[in-house]
Amino acid sequence: MRLNEYLRNTFGCKVYKISLNGGFTCPNRDGTIDTRGCIFCSAGGSGDFAESPTQSVTEQIEAGKARVAAKMKDGKYIAYFQAFTNTYGPVEKLRALYTEAIRHPDIVALSIATRPDCLPEEVLELLEELNRIKPVWVELGLQTIHPATADYIRRGYELEVYDRAVRNLRARHLEVITHVILGLPGETAADMVETVRYVVASGATGIKLQLLHVLRGTDLAKDYEAGKFEVLTEDAYMEILRQCLAVIPPQMVIHRLTGDGPKRILIAPLWSGDKKHVLNRVNRLLEERKEEE
């Protein structure tokens, strides 16, 4: 099921995600696991579109609303804690940030991006409690199930950690959205489809498929510029997407099928910068899939 359809069915109106920055860091950057971060992660901690962390949550929500005001008459919003690892901090800090967001009258749900190894019991309890007020979605950056790729990208946790996190979240009735990157160096189309199959079987309720973006300032960019790997062509990406879509059941919510890299720091693949064109092709794929169902 496509996200728009799911949002309309669930909330009965147009819903827009506002990217927030809670001023977090990440154990893969602060030295707890590593200091270098995941190999593809930009200086913004994969939250390059998020609002400024110097503003309060309410100010960020209002700034996000103002940005889309022209397109959003009578719509509602999802507070998306996107930058860095959004459950990595003292539970009192998390409670204060999430509660401020969930109390905002125009916010219909929280979406929290994090790592599966940053979900201790007290955080799970907090998320469960908030989920009784408004829906809480947890977005997990898995990217791949293949150990060699996970090492290369410096993900910093084993696959069992992901499995455990999904089980714990689902046991508390929280929605789980798993992020997968398509086009990681060394992976074949079959490897990527295997990852998607795994995610479907894991119990996640939603999936985000993102094209690998090589962003300026990352270690991935150094490897790319040294000719160590090639990025996917547009046709190759569409074909891989088609194969991935074939293994995603209709009830699973598809949150994204494209990349999300900011153009100003995008090195490759440059074809992905033509968002309208890419979206048209992705939409065609989705239509074909619908006809096959």
41 binds ligand SF4 (CB under 6 A): yes
Site for ligand SF4 contains 149 (CB under 6 A): no
The per-residue DSSP string of 126-150 comes to HHHHHHTTS-EEEEEEEE-S-HHHH
Cβ proximity to ligand SF4, 82 vs 202, nearer residue: 82
Contact 24, 118 (CB under 8 A): no
Strands 214-215, 266-268: pairing kind: antiparallel
Taking CB under 6 A as the binding criterion, the range among 4-12, 34-42, 53-61, 209-217 that sits at the site for ligand SF4 is: 34-42
- Residue closer to ligand SF4, measured from CB, 26 or 176: 26
User: 50 or 61: whose CB is closer to ligand SF4?
Assistant: 50
Q: How far apart are CA 97 and CA 85, in angstroms?
A: 14
Give the closest residue to 220 by CA, choosing from 177, 263, 186: 186
Question: What span, in angstroms and rounded, lies between the C-alpha atoms of 170 and 131?
Answer: 12
* Segment (H or E) for 199: helix 189-202
d(Cα 254, Cα 244) in Å, to the nearest integer?
A: 11
The count of chain residues that interact with ligand SF4, using the rule CB under 6 A, is 12
Q: Is 161 in the site for ligand SF4 (CB under 6 A)?
A: no
For the chain, what is the largest distance between any 2 Cα atoms, rounded to a whole number of angstroms?
Answer: 50
Q: Cβ 42 to ligand SF4, closest distance in Å?
A: 8
Question: Quick check: 26 binds ligand SF4 (CB under 6 A)?
Answer: yes
Please report how close the Cβ of residue 26 comes to ligand SF4 at its closest, in angstroms: 3
- Helix or strand or coil: residue 16? strand
**Within 106-145, which residues bind ligand SF4 (CB under 6 A)?**
115, 141
Tokens representing residue 122 in the block: 């007290």
**Residue closer to ligand SF4 (CB basis): 6 or 84:** 84
Binding mask 84-103 for ligand SF4 (x = CB under 6 A): xx------------------
Find the part of the chain contacting ligand SF4 (CB under 6 A) among 35-43, 54-62, 68-76, 257-265.
Answer: 35-43
- Tell me the residue length of the chain: 293
The site for ligand SF4 (CB under 6 A) is made up of 26, 28-29, 37-38, 41, 45-46, 84-85, 115, 141
